[in-house]
Structure 1
Amino acid sequence: MPTPQEHLSEAAKLIRSFNDVSRTITTGWQHPDDAHAALGSLTAIAQMLPRAIEQSVRPITHAHSNGQLLTSEGSPSESVRALRAFLDEAIQHAADLTKIVAALHIETNDLKSPPAQAGADSGR
């Protein structure tokens, strides 16, 4: 069974692949509906980010609560306090990103290509 890190690594690879293939307008990636669908998927990804960010630091907080966390500078408790502050900020920014991407998705809802002429691409 893949580890949590392996799942995140795979997710990053898939988003990198999307970035590569979506650079060029081509079949399957040429209509407003294509963008709308992509923004729907990005909204779903963004909605999952706060929880993923929070869960990504659980091994650290678990080790700290069990007295098993060491640091080369300062105390582990100071480091965990700083980590939690950054974590709270990251979660808030992820929530803000979700709202903005969802707004993009909604804004594209009524955008369509003109009807196709006979013998042309479907135009969706």
Structure 2
Amino acid sequence: MPEPYRSLSEAAEQVRAFNHTSQSAGKGWEYPSHSYSALGNLSYLVGMLEQAIVQSTRPAMCTYEHGRLRIDNGGDADQAVTELVNARLKAGAAAAALTAAVQRMHNATSAMGLDTTGLPEFAEDGDA
């Protein structure tokens, strides 16, 4: 079974690739429908972040619950886990807010299209 953190590494690489290839408009990346498709996929992606955040803390939490968590330099495990849980709650709330915002963006682009009036490359046969 692959190590779960590798999946997140691959997802991050794919987001980086999207950021690189979407920097400028061009063939296949020029119309409102392309934004709609991208935002739909992004909405799906960010909609899974809250669960991924919680599940990413499971190994540390399990180790703590079994009394086996050690903190570098003799640090306090209870304090470290309290910080982790508080940050996880804030991250989950931020992920939920991000999901809602991206879904609104996706919805906003659903009615958008290209006005092809006067564009020769979109003229149908018989149009003058």
TM-score in terms of structure 1 length: 0.91
Whole-angstrom distance in 2 between the partners of 1:120 and 1:41: 29
Please list the CA deviations of residues 58-93 of structure 1 after superposition, one character each: whole Å capped at 9, or x if unmatched: 000000011110012531111111110000000000
Does residue 44 of the first structure (1) align with residue 14 of the second (2)? no
Q: d(CA) in 2 for partners of 1:121 and 1:13?
A: 36
Q: Is residue 116–residue 122 contact of structure 2 (8 Å, CA) maintained in 1? A: no
**What residue in structure 2 maps to residue 77 of structure 1?**
78
CA distance in 2, matches of 1:34, 1:61: 41
Aligned to 2:121: 120
Structure 1 unaligned residues grouped into runs of 5+: none
Match of 2:54 in 1: 54
What amino acid is the match of 2:89?
D
After superposition, the Cα gap between the structure-2 partners of 1:30 and 1:82, relative to the gap in structure 1 and judged at 3 Å, is same
Gaps of 5+ in 2: 124-128
Aligned counterparts of 2:52 and 2:122: Cα–Cα separation in 1 = 40
- 3-state SS of 1:106 partner: helix
TM-score by length of 2: 0.89
Q: Provide runs of 4+ in structure 1 moved above 2 Å.
A: 115-119
Aligned to 2:3: 3
The sequence identity of aligned pairs, in percent, is: 33
Name 2:16's counterpart in structure 1: 16
Change (3 A) 1:77 1:106: same
Q: Are the counterparts in 1 of residues 22 and 29 from structure 2 also a CA contact under 8 Å?
A: yes
Across the two proteins, how many residue pairs are aligned to each other?
122
Measure the CA separation in 1 of the matches of 2:18 and 2:70.
Answer: 39
Q: Relative to structure 2, which stretch is displaced further, 65-74 or 93-102?
A: 65-74
Q: Flag the 1:37–1:74 CA change in 2: closer, same or farther, 3 A.
A: same
Q: CA RMSD in A?
A: 1.7
Aligned to 2:126: none
The residue aligned with 1:66 is: 66
